[in-house]
């Protein structure tokens, strides 16, 4: 298949003010339909910046990012709302609204498809309730549906954020450390849900991950980052323990 990639980076560099080193340097990348990509590497390697670029939340200092065929510089425009509704984001801070019930936060996933009157109606009575419940059920917290979100534990909040994205059912699923607050068994099952979601028809998952074995288990492509640059980018099957050791070991030396 030679269809357009869902996500493409061309010579992308990002510099933050007051930082000497570029957060991401001269990155070129294509991510196509059906791919499940894990971004691995030590903190500060540029994983979150890549996800912010892919979400259109950050624009490159140099180079160009195309998201679902649209230049990221103009994806924020009103006319591109329909395109944005196909991007799903699970951010590291969850971006949930604390005083609202879990159900309402999940319902917000589909705001991209709703007119404002419909949004207001849904705010008062979240729905379709069966689908909201099933999204929460897939991450194992259907019983929390009517709880206030800020009363949930960290792990439950993270799963609520994931359920919101599942309910949204986007084509491009971006997740920043999506299971960082979950225990190992729960991490496995939630990652399986995310990978499963991306496997169905013309979609892709890009997730940054700290836990390399988990990434190898659930993703089929591994992009290793270090100091804003790609160290290696290869199928999960070809990633050896040696390569991973190298990735984290190098960082140890550089920070020592």
Partner 1 sequence: MTTAVAPAARERSVPPARWDRRWWLVAVLGVGGWAVWTAGVDRGELINERGWGQVGDFFAAMFQPDLSREMLELTVREAGVTVGYALLGSAVALAIGMVGGVLLTERIWSPQHGPMARGRIGWMASRVVFAVPRSMHEVVFGLLLVNILGLDPLVAVLALGIPYGAVTSKVFAELLDDVPTDAELSLRASGAGRVTAFVFGTVPQAFSDLLSYAFYRFECALRGAAVLGIIGAGGLGFQLALSFTSLRYDEMWTLLWALILLSGVADRWSSAVRRRRNALAAETNMAADEVSVVTDVDAAAPAGDRFIRLSALVCAIGVPVAWWWLEIDISNLWDQRARTLGGELIADAWPPAIGAGGLAELIDDSLQTIALAVLALALSFIVASPLSFLARRPAGRTTDPTAVARRLGATLLRFVLLIGRSVPPPVWAFVVVFVLFPGLWPGAVALAIYNAGVLGRLQGEVLENHDPRPARQLVATGASGGGALTFATIPGVSGRYVALGLYRWEVMIRETVIVGVVGAAGLGRRLDQQTSAFDYDGIVATIAALFVVTLAVDFASAAIRRTLR
Rule CB under 8 A: which residues touch partner 1? 55-57, 76, 81-89, 91, 93, 95-101, 103-105, 107-109, 111-116, 119-120, 123, 125-127, 129-130, 142-146, 168, 170
Please, which residue, 39 or 89, has the CB nearer to partner 1?
89
Distance (Å) of CA 157 to CA 30, 105, 187, 197: 31, 10, 14, 20
| In the complex, least distance from residue 141 CB atom to partner 1, rounded to whole angstroms | 10
| In the complex, least distance from residue 82 CB atom to partner 1, rounded to whole angstroms | 7
DSSP H/E element including 30 = strand 24-31
Please, which residue, 52 or 179, has the CB nearer to partner 1?
52
Other beta carbons less than 10 A from residue 93's beta carbon: 8
DSSP H/E element including 6 = none
Q: How far is Cα 235 from Cα 222, in angstroms, rounded to an integer?
A: 6
Query: Are 181 and 155 contacting, i.e. CB atoms less than 8 angstroms apart?
Result: yes
| In the complex, least distance from residue 104 CB atom to partner 1, rounded to whole angstroms | 7
Please, which residue, 88 or 226, has the CB nearer to partner 1?
88
Please, which residue, 141 or 247, has the CB nearer to partner 1?
141
| In the complex, least distance from residue 76 CB atom to partner 1, rounded to whole angstroms | 8
Looking from the CA of 209 toward its CB, the CA atoms found within 13 Å total 26
Q: How far is Cα 161 from Cα 155, in angstroms, rounded to an integer?
A: 10
Please, which residue, 64 or 84, has the CB nearer to partner 1?
84
| In the complex, least distance from residue 115 CB atom to partner 1, rounded to whole angstroms | 8
């Amino acid at each position: 298949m030679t269809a357009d990639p869902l996500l493409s980076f061309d010579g992308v560099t990002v510099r933050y003010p007051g930082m000497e080193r570029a957060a991401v340097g001269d990155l070129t990348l294509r991510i196509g339909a059906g791919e499940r990509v894990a971004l691995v590497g030590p903190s500060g390697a540029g994983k979150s910046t890549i996800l912010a670029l892919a979400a259109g939340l950050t624009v490159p200092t140099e180079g160009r990012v195309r998201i679902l065929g649209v230049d990221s510089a103009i994806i924020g425009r009103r006319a591109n709302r329909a395109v944005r509704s196909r991007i799903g984001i699970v951010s590291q801070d969850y971006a949930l609204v604390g005083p609202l019930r879990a159900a309402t936060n999940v319902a917000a996933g589909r705001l991209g498809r709703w007119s404002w009157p419909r949004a207001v109606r849904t705010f008062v009575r979240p729905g379709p309730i069966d689908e909201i419940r099933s999204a929460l059920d897939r991450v194992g917290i259907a019983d929390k549906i009517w709880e206030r979100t800020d009363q949930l534990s960290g792990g439950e909040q993270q799963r609520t954020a994931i359920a919101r994205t599942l309910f949204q059912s986007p084509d491009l699923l971006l997740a920043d450390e999506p299971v960082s607050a979950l225990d190992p068994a729960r991490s496995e099952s939630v990652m399986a849900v995310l990978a499963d979601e991306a496997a169905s028809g013309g979609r892709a998952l890009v997730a940054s991950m700290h836990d390399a074995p988990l990434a190898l288990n659930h993703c089929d492509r591994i992009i290793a980052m270090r100091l804003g640059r790609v160290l290696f980018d290869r199928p999960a099957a070809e990633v050896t323990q040696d390569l991973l050791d190298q990735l984290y070991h190098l960082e140890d030396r550089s920070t020592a």
